[in-house]
């Protein structure tokens, strides 16, 4: 897509060299802005990368590994990132997802308690955890000798 520009020199004639340079500059700025908007939309609504923060998923995921999280399944969360980075109270909205969490899905979530306080629910949206979902609502889970068992579900 070319954006037409008309440039005149001081004597009134078209300056083709200046016109070409301005067209290139305008196109670079236009496509650069388009790429930034596309990247932001991708990050907010479709995919985001996270760095695995702890060793709780070893050996499948090591601390420092990067993972891509697909947001369409659960629905993307919308919130004011600038307020979140300043640790202000924010409202979080979740768009409808395509499906719910299934057993053995790897999930990325915010720990629901403020650091150092377990008496209230509040979290830092920029601090996250990576875990595997082993139980679903209504499941009864027991742990014996370091192994878990879900009532009514055969182990592999």
Active site residues: 56, 131
Q: Of the candidates 58, 56, 39, 35, which has an alpha carbon nearest to the alpha carbon of residue 48?
A: 39
């Amino acid at each position: 897509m070319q954006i037409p520009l008309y440039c005149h020199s001081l004597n009134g004639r078209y300056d083709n060299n200046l016109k070409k340079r301005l067209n290139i500059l305008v196109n670079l700025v236009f496509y650069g802005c388009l790429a930034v908007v596309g990247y932001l939309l991708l990050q907010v609504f479709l995919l985001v990368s996270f760095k695995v923060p702890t060793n709780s998923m070893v050996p499948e995921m090591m601390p420092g590994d990067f993972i891509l999280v697909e947001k369409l399944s659960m629905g993307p969360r919308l919130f004011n990132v600038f307020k979140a980075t300043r640790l202000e109270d924010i409202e979080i909205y979740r768009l409808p997802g395509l499906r719910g969490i299934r057993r053995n899905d790897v999930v990325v979530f915010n720990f629901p308690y403020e650091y150092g306080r377990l008496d209230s629910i509040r979290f830092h949206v920029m601090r996250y955890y990576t875990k595997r979902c082993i139980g679903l609502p209504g499941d009864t889970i027991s742990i014996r000798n370091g192994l878990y068992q879900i009532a009514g579900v055969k182990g592999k």
